[in-house]
Structure 1
């Protein structure tokens, strides 16, 4: 079988190798083998290759953290979270049985491969960790990325007012098309997040900040969180892990909340099943649909991970492994 593997840590384009005759993995106790149809890429795939992800599988390893595939033996089509080191950028991967979720026939492979981590993270962040309520105001950073675009759609669907930042005019346009009421180019010269947010909220600020970026945007976001607001720490795409002074939290009565979606796989797996059901419901109602920016073949996976990590992508990048059809569904804004 074909499989992308890395035997040392480093930049994905430097360490990943496509092995055309890799050994077929055999499932262990409590696992199933999957013939992979499509694999969704994530920023974490780059971190895995670099050895900086919170999970460090034994080497050699195959990245790819979310797939659509058919269960070997009975042919069921499922969404799954592969068990590393046998990730999804291969013709076959392994997954623990609780990490597989049923997939309706009317959801195509590419759409389904874009759901688990991006929409799961957004759902867990906004609702489980953030306690989002209808009528609240949400600020989403990197709103044209995979997770950010999911957060915009889910927040709009929940009846929130959504503000957004994105890196460049084209990405700002995508954020607005997804339902953001206001969106700003965070890379524009002279952009002042505090001034922009206070200007459109009458100085009050926002109830929730959904932040996959960190760095300077996190620092500015602390100044625009309303009293009793929640600043959701989703990731650090900017490269700098910021800090929040405890006295600032005390004075302003707001919370900084960690969002580690993957922890629920062991901590409380039922949360992921609930999130999956909620995502499928919104998908069926036509109120959300993954923003799939690119569908690329398996042999381009290393370059695709590099593009994603460098911010050269919009929305979700999906790798077509075998027989995956392109996404066709779109959000219905009425």
Structure 2
């Protein structure tokens, strides 16, 4: 059964939340009716009516079952408890306190924060330690407030608390047009540091030059930035904020100046167990792996201090909302996840929840939607497809295609994958400065380990005849 509600007027009587589908397809995302959270709060907890939720790329990975950070960093024992399971998407939110057992927050307070159990719900219960009251003088909109927690807290944790960034230091920020990249830029400029940036398209590079006035902006899609930065900064850079992987990460190491700091945000190579060339870091340099969620769990007392800093920087005009900020209604949730998964967006995305005045279709939660990784119902494909079928991957030699293929072999038991590409495998393997080569070599090793077959065919997927052949 399903019904239509208007969240702004109906949510309190008809609570709802986003359901991650067993299929792991974004197209299968649905809003489900939920029971109102039980009111007997534990000490330190609050109940919040969510106005808006921020959307991060991590949420796409969770929905698709690709999110790697489900285990405490450094913990490899399979029998240890997991954290941050990928059965509920969303972390950033803005809302109003409707019940409180916290000394610092009262009913009616406007709050923003991070919810470790998912923020795409009309109502949530969470510990007040990861939440901050919005100052009365703050003029940010609900959508802007929902967009800020993860990005700005990550920037402060990285550049202020893990290291003490100083005026005049040079900072290289990779993939800088995303929310976290922009937050790092704003903090660097607030303290008087010099920013160098990379971005993946000409439009993104123009945005960084025009919007933030950054002189040196380079391409993050290939290794050309290495020689260009080295020619302009022969002594290296003081800080590198990294979200790249593979050879792009490894070559970035070599740009670090004496006594420099390498701040790893992407963590893809770290969690994949990739052998990182730590020898390229001299003994006087520092390597920081930043995982905000783990920090919130391990050091909750520090969160309030960071939020105070964020709002103080906004009050002084040193921080400003992300641009562009793309806002979606809850009825557009599939479109929102589809757009962010393309990796071409800039800035931040936010989804209205109980702020929405648009009709929303909500399904009755009368079936068991629990995801079971060990059952065929929780798999992306039926067992017959995994064992006997062939999966075609368009753009198969790209970063996303290789990552998806590795996941299908390792986690879903797929035995036969055909990667479609406009390049031949011979040209791909011989290409210079190929950031995907390491991913391809890893995929071949994993295929041998799991007795899977990976074929590569040269085909233009826009030509129907080529695909049919």
Q: How many residues align?
A: 317
Which of 159, 162, 175 is matched with 1:142 structurally? 175
1:151 maps to what in 2? 184
Return the TM-score normalized by structure 2.
Answer: 0.62
Q: How far is 1:191 from its partner? A: 5.3
Q: Deviations over 1:43-71 (max 9, x none)?
A: 22122223324246798943110110001
1:83-94 pair list within 5 angstroms: 83-84=116-117, 87-94=118-125
Q: Deviations over 1:257-281 (max 9, x none)?
A: 1111122222222322222111111
Structure 1, 217-226 or 302-311: larger mean CA deviation: 302-311
1:164 maps to what in 2? 197
Q: Give the conservation status (yes or no) of the 8 Å contact 1:80–1:95.
A: no
Distance in 1 (alpha carbons) for counterparts of 2:236 and 2:86: 47
Distance in 2 (alpha carbons) for counterparts of 1:306 and 1:169: 22
1:23 maps to what in 2? 35
Q: How far is 1:180 from its partner? A: 2.5
Distance 1:26 1:82, change over 3 A: farther
Distance in 2 (alpha carbons) for counterparts of 1:109 and 1:324: 11
Distance 1:249 1:239, change over 3 A: closer
Runs of at least 4 residues of structure 1 off by over 6 A?
56-60, 237-240
1:294-309 pair list within 5 angstroms: 294-309=326-341
Q: How far is 1:244 from its partner? A: 2.5
Q: Deviations over 1:77-120 (max 9, x none)?
A: 10122241xx2112112221212211023232122111110111
2:217 maps to what in 1? 183
Distance in 1 (alpha carbons) for counterparts of 2:84 and 2:254: 42
1:329 maps to what in 2? none
User: Which 5+ residue runs of structure 1 have no aligned equivalent?
Assistant: 326-334
Q: Deviations over 1:137-182 (max 9, x none)?
A: 0000111011111111111111100000011111112222224331
Provide the aligned C-alpha RMSD in A.
Answer: 2.6
Q: Give the conservation status (yes or no) of the 8 Å contact 1:66–1:79.
A: yes
Residue 129 in 1 paired to residue 129 in 2?
no
Distance in 2 (alpha carbons) for counterparts of 1:274 and 1:58: 23
Q: How far is 1:286 from its partner? A: 1.4
2:75 maps to what in 1? none
2:24 maps to what in 1? 10
Distance in 2 (alpha carbons) for counterparts of 1:71 and 1:166: 39
Return the TM-score normalized by structure 1.
Answer: 0.86
Q: How far is 1:221 from its partner? A: 0.8
Q: How far is 1:215 from its partner? A: 2.8
Distance 1:291 1:319, change over 3 A: same
User: Which 5+ residue runs of structure 2 have no aligned equivalent?
Assistant: 1-14, 71-81, 100-106, 358-469
Q: How far is 1:200 from its partner? A: 2.1
Larger Rg: 2
SS of the equivalent of 1:72 reads strand
